[in-house]
Amino acid sequence: MANSLATCQSVICGFIFAVGITFVVTQAEARAFFVFGDSLVDSGNNNYLATCARADAPPYGIDYPSHRPTGRFSNGLNIPDLISQHMGSEATLPYLSPELTRRKLLVGANFASAGIGILNDTGIQFGNIIRMPLQLAYFQQYQKRVRALVGASQAKRIVNQALVLITLGGNDFVNNYYLVPHSVRSRQYSLKDYVPFLISEYKKILMRLYQLGARRVLVTGTGPMGCVPAELAQHSRNGKCAAELQRASSLFNPQLSLMINQLNNKIGTTVFIAANTNRMHNDFISNPRAFGFVTSKIACCGQGPYNGIGLCTPFSNLCPNRDLYLFWDPFHPSEKANKLIVQQIMSGSTQYMHPMNLSTILALDSKA
C-alpha cells in the first residue's frame, strides 16, 4: 500500500491515500485460500520451529522454481501451490513467514505443519509443531489482522468467500497408532474403534472451521498408507502393500466421506467437499505406467529397500528424473503426482470428488 510522505502537500497525500484504499479493496476481491493440515500441504511453517519434521535442506526443492528447499515436502510444487495456480492466484505463504503482511494477507495463509494429526498426541516425537488447536487459533489471529487492514465487514467477506483445504489423518496411524508396537493408542483402542474415534475428533475440527467462517472446504482422505515406500521397506513381503495400514485406510476413508455428508446435511448446504485421494493414489499404484511413472514402489530420494528407509538427505540416492516417480521421498508424492491429484480435484468425477469437483465449485460461486 502506498504511504504518504510527511513532506507532501495535502492534496498529494490525499491522492496516495485513495490509491492505497483502492488497492486493498481490489486485492480483497480475489478469492483467498487457506490451508490446514500436515506435511502433504505444509509450505514451510516448520522452517520456523524447533522440530526435526522439516524439509529445508537439499535435495528438497530441487525442481521448485528457485531450485532451493522451501520447507515443502516435495521436489517441487505441492498440492496447495497447484490449486493456487488453477485459481489464478499466487501461492499462499506459511503463516509463520515474516513476509505474510499487508497485501500478502489478502491472498490467504497456509497454517499446515508437518507431523501433526487429528489428535494432539500425534507426532509428539517431532517436538514443536503446529497442532490443530493452534492452527485454528492462528486462523482467528489471521482474521484479527485482516480486520485491522480492511475492516470487519470486508474481512468477514474474505473468509466466507475463501477456499479452504484440509489434509489430516495419515499421521494418526503412521506416527501414532502404528508408530511402535503396543503404542498407547493401540492399547487403548482396537483399530475398529480407533477409526470412529478419529472421525469424531475430525468432525469437531471441521465444525470449528465452519464456526470460524469457512464456507467451502476441500477435505482430503488418506492415501493407501500401506503402499508408501517407507511402509514397503519396513513391513512389505514381496513388494505388496502393508496389510494392516491398508486396512486402516479402508476403514477411515469411507467413514470420513459419510461424516462429511452428515455435516453438509446438518448445515443444509454443501460446505465440505470430499476429495478421494485414496482412489487417486490407487489408480497410480495399480497402473503406474498409464500415468508416466516407471515405478509406484520406489521413492526417488532415499536409501535402503524401495529407498524407503530414513529421510531424504543430500547423501541419499536421488533419481535423475523426478517425473518418472510416483513418490518423491519415503512418504510424499512427487510434483508430477501432485499435478495429477490436483487435476482430479479440479475436474474429477463424483468417484473422486463428492459432491462436486473444484471447477464446478468455482463456476457456481462466481455466479453467486
**Which candidate, 286, 280, 287, 289, places its Cα nearest to that of 333?**
280
Element (H, E) at 318: strand 317-318
Q: Is 327 helix (H, G, I), strand (E, B) or coil?
A: strand
Cβ-based neighbour number of residue 300 at 10 Å: 27
In this structure, are residues 262 and 271 in contact, taking their beta carbons and an 8 Å threshold? no
For residues 1 and 7, what is the distance between their CA atoms, to the nearest angstrom? 18
Alpha helices in the chain (DSSP H): 10-29, 79-87, 132-150, 152-160, 170-172, 184-188, 191-211, 229-235, 243-267, 277-286, 335-347, 358-367
- At residue 104's C-alpha, the angle toward residues 101 and 110, to 5°, is 95
For residues 324 and 288, what is the distance between their CA atoms, to the nearest angstrom? 9
Q: Is 94 helix (H, G, I), strand (E, B) or coil?
A: strand
For residues 41 and 273, what is the distance between their CA atoms, to the nearest angstrom? 17
Instruction: Enumerate the active-site residues.
Output: 39, 329, 332
